[in-house]
Structure 1
């Protein structure tokens, strides 16, 4: 299994950057997770739109799903449109982004599937398990397993006991870490810190930790230092072009 980071900015893409977006590959099958703002141009540098086999969206905020629209346009309007793309997301999460076009524009380009917490799905060579995690809108924590390797992804989430179950013995935990240490009171139930991500990774026994969704313009050093206070495993910050082989 291989993970390629397309972008890791939270909220909006910094100059030359992109928001959340991750390409996961196993046995030639390609899953795009969270096509946020500015991720499609990054994706197209290495992978054609029609080569994506499935899309997973953790939640409906545009920094996690806005570039689904141009991805579907690229597939629907090409000279030889590929088969309809399976798109998995919490119920209603994609309503706004899909309304950017009239239905006939994207007709036949995708097949929607609702992500339901605690349900296991088989997607190509992947097993997908999901958890409902707290955020401003419904958010699905995603656990992808293939070939004996496991990637756990939090989406955007506040504190939750389920995070340890999501990341249990994962080869890689991809964790939202908007703030280095202290989450403002109004966001504390809905967003995480690098400090909290480190604690989760340590408690879960995750082999590696990749911090993502840092606030645009935030230097990586404070986040890395905060996570390292409780986590002693391999640690990095997600930025465009980072590739991890599990």
Structure 2
């Protein structure tokens, strides 16, 4: 299993960057996770739009799904004309982005609702999901394939179930919008690098990749905050980062 980071910027894409976007490959099967703002141009450097086999979306905020629209347009209007794309997301999460181009969406997508505690097969992967706290319904994702496990939080506030999501994972990809403290009313709905480090340590995750840092945030404070409780392999998700499990 191989993960390639297409973007990891939170909220909006800073200059030269993209928001959340991750390509996971195993046994020739390509899954695109959270195609946020500016992800598609980065993806197309690695694979054609028609070569994506499935899309997983944790929640309906546009920094996690806006580039589903140009991906579908590239598939529908390009020369290859692939079959409809299986897209997995919480119920209703993609209504707004699919309405941007309803005609192409209707024929270009096979929708699947992500239901917590209901395991799915997505190509060669087993997909398990957890409902995690955010401003909108958010699905934590756990992909298993070839004896390896990648867990991804999407955007989430503190939750005991995060440890279950990440239990013994080979890689935990964790939202870490702020290094130490989430300000004010967002505290129940977003996470810090310090919290991600504690989760990874408690879960026994082999690697921790911090993502969704607030635009303009330097990586060093986030890494230092996570490292106080987590002693495993640690990095910040940046465009082009590749992790082979």
Aligned partner of 2:19 in structure 1 is 19
Contact 1:76 1:106 in 2 (8 A): no
1:93-143 superposed Cα distances (whole Å, 9 cap, x missing partner) = 001101111x22333211111000111001110000000000000000000
1:133–1:139 contact (8 Å) kept in structure 2 = yes
2-structure distance, mates of 1:220, 1:150:
25
TM-score with structure 2 setting the length: 0.99
The reply to whether residue 159 of structure 1 matches residue 169 of structure 2 is: no
Aligned equivalent of 1:141: 140
CA deviation map 1:147-202 (0-9, x unaligned): 00000000000000000000000000000000000111211100000000000000
Mean alpha-carbon deviation: is it higher for 106-115 or for 178-187?
106-115
Name the Cα RMSD after superposition: 0.6
Q: For structure 2, which runs of at least 5 residues remain unmatched after alignment?
A: none
Residue of structure 1 equivalent to 2:194: 195
Aligned length: 245
Counterpart-to-counterpart distance in 2, 1:151 and 1:215: 23
- Matches of 1:175 and 1:144, distance apart in 2: 14
Q: Is the 8 A contact 2:72 2:104 kept in 1?
A: no
Distance in structure 1 (CA, Å) of the matches to 2:122 and 2:137: 22
Contact kept in structure 2, 1:163 and 1:200, CA below 8 Å: yes
The equivalent of 1:87 in structure 2 is 87
| Distance in 1 separating the partners of 2:43 and 2:79 | 19
2-side partners of 1:104 and 1:177: how far apart? 37
Q: Contact (CA 8 Å) 1:156, 1:176: kept in 2 or not?
A: yes
TM-score, normalising length: structure 1: 0.99
Structure 1 distance, partners of 2:64, 2:147, is: 27
Deviates more, 1:74-83 or 1:139-148: 74-83
Aligned positions of 1:1-246 closer than 5 A: 1-101=1-101, 103-246=102-245
CA contact (8 A) 1:11 1:215 kept: yes
